Amino acid sequence: MTRTLSRPERLAWARLARTPRIGPLTFHRLIARFRTASAALEALPRISQLTPPPLDSVEAELEGVEALGAELVASSEPDYPPLLAQLDAPPPVLAMRGDVKLLHRPTIAIIGSREASAGALLFAERLAADLGAAGFTIVSGLARGLDASAHKGSLTTGTAAVLAGGLDHPYPPQNLELHDAICARGVVVTEAPLRTVARARDFPRRNSIISGLSRAVVIIEAALRSGSLITARAAADQGRDVMAVPGSPLDPRARGSNALIKQGATLIESAEDVIAALGDGAPPLRPLSAGPLFDPDVSEPPPPGLPKKIAALLSPTPIHVNDLARLTDAPMGAVAAALTELELEGLAASLPGGYAALGRHAFGNGGD
């Protein structure tokens, strides 16, 4: 059951989340094992060589977020977007500025080319307006082109912009006026700390949050190599519906979206098509996977020797945690605890859907 954290609890949660090399999967495994962020922080020196950021730096971040009229929301709290919270490993904290309740309504993402045609821009704005009038909040990434049109079309009914950088560094600069309007009438969301300037490597994570927030993702005019297709793949991995608007086969800007339709994405030409494709089914509570990612009983440390045994089984090819439990003849809780310790040392990497693989620090260690 979700509850609002106290300020000390929120600071501990954010401090653990901001610790280098602790990503969402590792974070949630630590919470599952130690029950609270404070207990996990106390245990870090015993199980890893990681150093959390100073408490005063996290306090400064929280104060900075509040100074913007925003809030730092933990994934265990009621204000956290419910669809995103249902993923295997949601972002531990989100900075949210605006009307957070907009993400508790039905949500649809509309994304596409930054260099879109005039027709695509007009269609995106109309589609967003029609879906907004039908009660949906429209999610997009504030990029120029299709994203901006989707936000403009839904500004009066409810729109959410997901940033790759911090709340104090919206991108791109030409959409600052639109950003300010969304802050006033919609909601702006990011997992990045304040003072973070968006880099190219940050956008795939931004894209996975866009899809994670949404019941379905609609792609309009996407090239074969584009961030929109990355979002489509993330949506499919998360169990979201993927929809696409067909374009001219002569236009390279539509080749990616046309390819998605060939691969099984639902063809969309109107808001009615989107609503019909959704049907009466509720959003999936969890993406399909071979088993639970977090065992309810992982509070104990792993048995001696189990982390080393699991490390020997890992390779660059992902393996499911259920298979690791079977191969080591160990309970799931013990396997999860062992993987957590290996991740903290950079020797294992947790992947979506309950998979694990060899961590990047396992390479080049001079092993045989």
Q: Model pTM?
A: 0.84
Residue 360 pLDDT? 67
- What confidence tier does 210 reach under pLDDT thresholds 50, 70, 90? very high
Domain enclosing residue 146, as ranges: 100-278
Q: What is the mean pLDDT of residues 196-219?
A: 94
- 79 inside domain: no
- 87 inside domain: no
**Are residue 111 and residue 183 in the same domain, yes or no?**
yes
Residue 269 has pLDDT above 60, yes or no: yes
Neighbours of 313 (CB within 10 A): 13
- 62 inside domain: yes
Residue 289 pLDDT? 33
**Are residue 26 and residue 107 in the same domain, yes or no?**
no
Of 18, 53, 70, which marks where a domain is finished?
Answer: 70
**Are residue 105 and residue 57 in the same domain, yes or no?**
no
Average pLDDT over the chain reads 89
Residue 164, C-beta contacts closer than 8 angstroms, at least 6 positions apart: 141, 171, 190, 192, 198, 199, 202, 203, 205, 206
**Are residue 202 and residue 160 in the same domain, yes or no?**
yes
- Please give the C-alpha separations between residue 296 and each of 33, 39, 288, 329, 343, in angstroms, as whole numbers: 8, 17, 19, 18, 19
Do 203 and 227 form a contact (C-beta atoms < 8 A)?
Answer: yes
Residue 279 pLDDT? 87
Beta-bridged to residue 72, according to DSSP, are: 95
Residue 287 has pLDDT above 60, yes or no: no
**Are residue 22 and residue 152 in the same domain, yes or no?**
no
Residue 297 has pLDDT above 80, yes or no: no
Query: Distance between CA atoms of 165 and 248, rounded to whole angstroms?
Result: 34
Residue 121 has pLDDT above 60, yes or no: yes
- 93 inside domain: no
Residue 344 pLDDT? 87
**Are residue 223 and residue 327 in the same domain, yes or no?**
no
CATH number at residue 244: 3.40.50.450
- 77 inside domain: no
What does the pLDDT look like over 304-318, one tens digit per residue?
Answer: 899 999 999 999 888
**Are residue 241 and residue 352 in the same domain, yes or no?**
no
- 301 inside domain: no
- What confidence tier does 107 reach under pLDDT thresholds 50, 70, 90? very high
Please report which residue ranges of the chain form alpha helices under DSSP H. 7-17, 24-34, 37-47, 55-67, 82-85, 118-133, 146-153, 176-185, 203-212, 227-237, 255-262, 271-278, 306-313, 321-328, 332-344
Q: What is the mean pLDDT of residues 173-200?
A: 96
Residue 293 has pLDDT above 50, yes or no: no
Residue 28 has pLDDT above 70, yes or no: yes
Residue 75 pLDDT? 96
Return the minimum-mean-pLDDT range out of 15-29, 318-332, 338-352.
338-352
Residue 68, C-beta contacts closer than 8 angstroms, at least 6 positions apart: 97, 167, 168
**Are residue 11 and residue 129 in the same domain, yes or no?**
no
**Are residue 166 and residue 263 in the same domain, yes or no?**
yes
What does the pLDDT look like over 38-47, one tens digit per residue?
Answer: 999 999 999 8
Neighbours of 364 (CB within 10 A): 7
Tally the domains of the chain: 3
Question: DSSP of 142-155, one letter per residue?
Answer: --TTHHHHHHHHTT
Give the rounded percent of residues in the chain with a pLDDT score beyond 70: 91
Give the rounded percent of residues in the chain with a pLDDT score beyond 90: 69
**Are residue 109 and residue 246 in the same domain, yes or no?**
yes
Residue 51 has pLDDT above 60, yes or no: yes
Residue 285 pLDDT? 38
DSSP state of 277: H
- What confidence tier does 352 reach under pLDDT thresholds 50, 70, 90? low
Structure tokens at 209: 């949050």
Residue 286 pLDDT? 39
Return the minimum-mean-pLDDT range out of 151-155, 170-174, 346-350, 361-365.
361-365
Greatest C-alpha distance within the chain: 63
